[in-house]
């Protein structure tokens, strides 16, 4: 009895914990609360990682956008040389104070061409993805909302295009259309239209079964009004993530077309074309003509991928955090 009284004065009886050996021991006075483990600790880490990835992606993309805007202005003012002028420069000159990134086989400044290539790449990619958005999103909304034979026909067509390899389809279209900025953008946009169509079509088919859509139909709203006022706002949320990831892929595809000689004309600075010309000099130790265009392409793709992955994790994690709260 004395032992029972002593244990009762300190805290709960140890016999209670001994009867349930798989349970945690009882807390005593003055002990710190047990640390939480598992998913609650991993969620802030995931959110902080996605925020850092998105932040770095924004910084890289904004830096490339500034370079794309300022490079033509600096060339026009004479601060930077002409990307295509090289007769007065030595060929295959190594990096120096006069030419920070060296010169290529025609004496053209590699640094200026690499900076000018960023504007060309962003121009072609934005034009291609803009055309893909304008075509893919409305077709996906109409197909998902209307259904019927038109939906089956569009799904069959888009699935056929989606199954083709991206680079192979781009090469075929670029070969048929020829070299040029609009032609390269057209060859790229056909590749990404099925992706936007599939995403928007699936979401439209789910949203049209909601009660607010049925309420709008019962009040006499037409299909165009429902598509513009209700469906568009609900299906457009996932497009920005897909847009950034497709932009990263489009930069690589454009570089592949330029490397194969099917991208842009030789008078337009392009990373893929510069890499193709640098391939012959690389075995002789001329490394700078391939390093800087390849590094510029890699960093831009990395920034766009960081931005897309950060947005995707932030959107998915944000919904999960709100539901868990």
H helices within 147-260, ranges in order? 148-163, 166-177, 181-207, 211-218, 223-226, 232-235, 239-259
Q: How many domains does the chain have?
A: 1
- Per the CB < 8 A criterion, the answer to whether 271 and 297 are in contact is yes
Encode pLDDT of 39-68 as tens digits: 444 455 556 777 888 899 999 999 999 999
Cα-based distances in Å from 120 to 41, 102, 113, 312: 44, 21, 10, 27
Assess if residue 39 is contained within a domain: no
Classify residue 23: in a domain, yes or no.
no
Q: What pLDDT, on a 0 to 100 scale, did the predictor assign at position 111?
A: 93
Q: Express each pLDDT in 63-79 by its tens digit.
A: 999 999 999 999 999 88
Return d(Cα 21, Cα 237) in angstroms, integer. 50
Instruction: Say if CB 76 and CB 123 are below 8 A apart.
Output: no
| 15 located within any domain | no
Is the confidence at residue 194, as pLDDT, over 50? yes
pLDDT per residue as tens digits for the range 112-150: 999 999 999 999 999 999 999 999 999 999 998 888 898
Query: 103 pairs with which residues across the strands?
Result: 109
- The DSSP code sequence of 137-150 is HHHHHHHHHH-HHH
Assigned domain for 277 exists: yes
CB-CB neighbours of 306 under 10 Å = 23
- Is residue 3 domain-resident? no
Decide if 45 is inside a domain.
no
| CATH code of the domain covering residue 288 | 1.10.3720.10
Q: How far apart are CA 306 and CA 251, in angstroms?
A: 14
Q: Which domain covers residue 178, as residue numbers? A: 51-319
pLDDT digits (tens, 9 = 90+) for 200-242: 999 888 888 788 888 887 888 777 888 888 888 888 887 888 8
In a domain? residue 30: no
Q: What percent of the chain has pLDDT over 70?
A: 82
Q: In this structure, is residue 324 part of a structural domain?
A: no
Separation CA 225–CA 86 (nearest Å): 58
Q: Are 103 and 209 in contact (CB under 8 A)?
A: no
Q: At what angle do helices 148-163 and 181-207 cross, to 10 degrees?
A: 130
């Amino acid at each position: 009895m004395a032992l029972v009284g002593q244990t009762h004065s300190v805290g709960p009886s140890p016999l209670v914990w001994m009867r349930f050996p798989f349970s945690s021991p009882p807390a005593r006075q003055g002990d710190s609360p047990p640390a939480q483990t598992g998913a609650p600790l991993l969620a802030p880490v995931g959110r902080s990682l996605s925020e850092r990835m998105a932040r770095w992606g924004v910084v890289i993309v904004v830096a490339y956008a500034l370079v794309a805007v300022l490079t033509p202005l600096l060339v026009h003012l004479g601060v930077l040389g002409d990307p295509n002028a090289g007769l007065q420069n030595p060929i295959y000159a190594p990096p120096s104070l006069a030419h920070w990134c060296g010169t290529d086989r025609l004496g053209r400044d590699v640094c200026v061409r690499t900076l000018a290539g960023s504007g060309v790449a962003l121009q072609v990619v934005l034009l291609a993805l803009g055309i893909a958005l304008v075509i893919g999103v409305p077709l996906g909304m109409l197909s998902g909302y209307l259904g019927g034979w038109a939906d089956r026909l569009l799904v069959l067509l888009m699935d056929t295009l989606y199954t083709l390899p991206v680079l192979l389809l781009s090469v075929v279209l670029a070969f048929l259309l020829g070299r040029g900025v609009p032609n390269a953008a057209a060859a790229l946009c056909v590749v990404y239209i099925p992706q936007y169509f599939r995403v928007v079509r699936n979401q439209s088919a789910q949203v049209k079964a909601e009660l607010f859509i049925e309420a709008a139909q019962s009040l006499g709203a037409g299909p165009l009004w429902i598509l513009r006022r209700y469906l568009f706002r609900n299906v457009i949320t996932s497009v920005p993530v897909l847009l950034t990831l497709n932009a990263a892929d489009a930069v690589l595809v454009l570089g592949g077309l330029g490397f194969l000689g099917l991208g842009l004309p030789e008078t337009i600075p392009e990373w893929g074309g510069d890499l193709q010309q640098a391939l012959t000099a690389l075995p002789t130790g001329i490394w700078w003509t391939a390093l800087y265009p390849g590094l510029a392409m890699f960093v831009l793709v990395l920034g766009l991928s960081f931005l897309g992955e950060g947005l995707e994790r932030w959107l998915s994690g944000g919904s999960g955090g709100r539901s868990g709260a």
